[in-house]
Chain A
Amino acid sequence: MSAATGTEKKTALYDKHVALGARMVPFAGYMMPLSYSGQIAEHNAVRNKVGIFDLSHMGEFMITGAGAIEAVDRLLTNRFVGSKPFQAVYSPMCLDNGGIVDDLIAYNLPDGIYVVVNASNIDKDARWIQEHLPAGVHLGNLSDHTSLIAIQGPATLEFLAPIMDQPIAHLHTYTSVRAQVAGIDALVSRTGYTGEDGYELYVANAHAPELWDRLIGVGQNIGLTPIGLAARDTLRFEMGYCLYGNDIDETTTPLEAGLLWTVKFDKGDFVGRSALWEQKDNVPRRMVGLRPDGERSIPRHGNPVRVGERQVGHVTSGTFAPSLGMGLGMGYVESGLSRPRTQVTIDVRGKDVPAAVTVLPFYTYGSRPGRRKA
Chain B
Amino acid sequence: MHTPAELKYTEEHEWVKLEGKEALVGITDYAQGELGDIVFVELPAEGAAVKQGDVFGTIEAVKTVSDLYAPVTGKVIAVNKSLGEHPEHINKSPYQDGWMIRIAVDNPSEMEKLLNADGYQTHVGGH
The stretch among A162-170, A272-280, A319-327 that forms the contact with chain B is A319-327
Count A interface residues, CB 8 Å. 18
Once the chains bind, are A39 and B40 in contact (CB under 8 Å)? no
Q: Which secondary structure characterizes the binding site on chain A?
A: mixed
Q: Which residues of B contact A298 (CB under 8 A)?
A: 39-40, 60, 65
Instruction: Report A340-374 CB contacts with B as 1/0, cut-off 8 Å.
Output: 00000000010000000000000000000000000
**Shortest beta-carbon distance, A304 to chain B, in Å?**
16
How distant is the Cα of A38 from the Cα of B62 in the complex, in angstroms?
A: 11
**Residue B91 lies at the interface, judged by CB distance under 8 Å to chain A:** yes
**Shortest beta-carbon distance, A229 to chain B, in Å?**
10
A/B pair count, beta carbons within 8 Å:
39
Q: Which residues of B contact A296 (CB under 8 A)?
A: 40, 42, 60
**Residue A34 lies at the interface, judged by CB distance under 8 Å to chain B:** yes
Most A CB within 10 A of own CB, among B33, B58, B65? B65
Once the chains bind, are A38 and B33 in contact (CB under 8 Å)? no
Q: Which residues of B contact A39 (CB under 8 A)?
A: 36-37, 62-63
Cross-chain contact of A322 among B60, B62, B65 (Cβ < 8 A) = B62
Once the chains bind, are B39 and A320 in contact (CB under 8 Å)? yes
How distant is the Cα of A319 from the Cα of B35 in the complex, in angstroms?
A: 13
Interface members, chain B 45-60 (any A CB < 8 Å): 58, 60
Interface members, chain A 1-54 (any B CB < 8 Å): 1, 23, 34-35, 38-40
Cross-chain contact of A320 among B42, B58, B60 (Cβ < 8 A) = B60
Q: Which residues of B contact A40 (CB under 8 A)?
A: 37, 62
Count B interface residues, CB 8 Å. 15
**Residue A300 lies at the interface, judged by CB distance under 8 Å to chain B:** yes
- Supposing A230-B63, A320-B60, A320-B62 touch, asked if A38 and B37 sit within 8 A by C-beta, the answer is yes
**Residue A233 lies at the interface, judged by CB distance under 8 Å to chain B:** yes
**Residue A338 lies at the interface, judged by CB distance under 8 Å to chain B:** no
Interface members, chain B 22-77 (any A CB < 8 Å): 33-34, 36-37, 39-40, 42, 58, 60-65
Once the chains bind, are B62 and A234 in contact (CB under 8 Å)? yes
- Supposing A38-B91, A349-B65 touch, asked if A327 and B60 sit within 8 A by C-beta, the answer is yes
**Shortest beta-carbon distance, A170 to chain B, in Å?**
36
Q: Which residues of B contact A35 (CB under 8 A)?
A: 36
How distant is the Cα of A34 from the Cα of B36 in the complex, in angstroms?
A: 9
Q: Which residues of A contact B36 (CB under 8 A)?
A: 34-35, 38-39, 230
Q: Which residues of B contact A320 (CB under 8 A)?
A: 39-40, 60-62
Q: Which residues of A contact B39 (CB under 8 A)?
A: 298, 320, 327
**Shortest beta-carbon distance, A21 to chain B, in Å?**
12
**Shortest beta-carbon distance, B54 to chain A, in Å?**
15
Interface members, chain A 214-252 (any B CB < 8 Å): 230, 233-234
Once the chains bind, are A319 and B91 in contact (CB under 8 Å)? no
**Shortest beta-carbon distance, A121 to chain B, in Å?**
22
Question: In the complex, given contacts A298-B39, A320-B39, what are 17 additional A-B residue pairs having Cβ atoms less than 8 angstroms apart?
Answer: A1-B34, A34-B36, A35-B36, A38-B36, A38-B91, A39-B37, A39-B63, A40-B37, A230-B36, A234-B62, A296-B42, A296-B60, A298-B60, A300-B64, A300-B65, A319-B63, A349-B65
Chain A interface (Cβ < 8 Å from any Cβ of B): 1, 23, 34-35, 38-40, 230, 233-234, 296, 298, 300, 319-320, 322, 327, 349
Which 6 residue pairs across A and B have the least CB separation, nearest first? Answer: A320-B62, A320-B39, A40-B37, A39-B37, A296-B40, A298-B60
22 pairs of residues in contact across A and B, judged by CB atoms under 8 Å = A23-B33, A34-B36, A35-B36, A38-B36, A38-B37, A38-B91, A39-B62, A40-B62, A230-B36, A230-B63, A233-B63, A296-B40, A296-B42, A298-B40, A298-B60, A300-B64, A320-B39, A320-B61, A320-B62, A322-B62, A327-B60, A349-B65
